[in-house]
Structure formats: structure tokens, C-alpha cells
Homo-oligomer: A and B are copies of this chain.
């Protein structure tokens, strides 16, 4: 992670479809250099995913109350199912962030969470437009 890597990340944050060539031109290096660096950033987990932001998805945060006796197992399960997980420091309660195309799909996903062993209760917040 040097200055060049940070610049590459900044460019990709703004436009992840910018070509390697174009980034290379801006940074005065070869295309192959950009391609290899991006590959390394992905392999090392620094770049998690290339994605888009849309105006149509429903985004929700599901607050999840866990049974404290099963908390660590349930948390493990949640981690395997969702990538966007939040936790109070030092508390057993967690939240997952979910993005779906419709409110129905979001509700179905919440139902899945409610059915998980060790989940006592859930509360869903929806992103304001």
C-alpha cells in the first residue's frame, strides 16, 4: 500500500469502470502496472468488490438480538451469510445491512434471519430516500 495504490483506489471509488489504460495515463505508469496492482489489491482483500450504487434498491439495517448462550455460534452463521455486519463493541447484539430490489425481497431476507437458531428478535430499519 503506497501512494500509487491509494490513488488507484481513489480513482476506482469514483469510477470503477475506468480502464486500466486511463488510470495508467493519469499516473504515468504502464497499463500492466495498474492491472497488477489492482489484482494485488483484490487478492489482499483491500478491494472487497467492484459494484454500483443505484437509486432503486431498498437498503435495510436489521438489528438482531441474540440469545447470549448461543451468541458466538449465531454470529458465525451470520458472518457466513452476510458481508456487511455491524456490532456494538462488547455487546452480543449485531446488525446486518441488506440491499434488495424490492421491499418484499427485503422482508423475505429478514424472515430468514428470524428463523436462524439463536436469534431472539429483529428490528428492521429502512434507508430514507
Contacts and interface: CB of A to CB of B under 8 A. Distances in A.
B61 A52 contact: no
A117 interface: no
Contact of A6 (B10, B16, B101): B101
A31 interface: no
A86 B128 contact: yes
A125 B95 contact: yes
Contacts of A14: 49, 51
A61 B15 CA distance: 23
B15 A50 contact: yes
Number of copies: 2
A31 to B, nearest CB: 15
A62 B128 CA distance: 15
Interface stretch (A21-29, A40-48, A108-116): A40-48
A18 to B, nearest CB: 8
Interface in A52-95: 52-56, 59-61, 63, 79, 84-89, 94-95
A27 B89 CA distance: 45
A119 B10 CA distance: 29
Closest 7 CB pairs of A and B: A86-B125, A48-B53, A16-B50, A17-B50, A12-B52, A85-B128, A16-B16
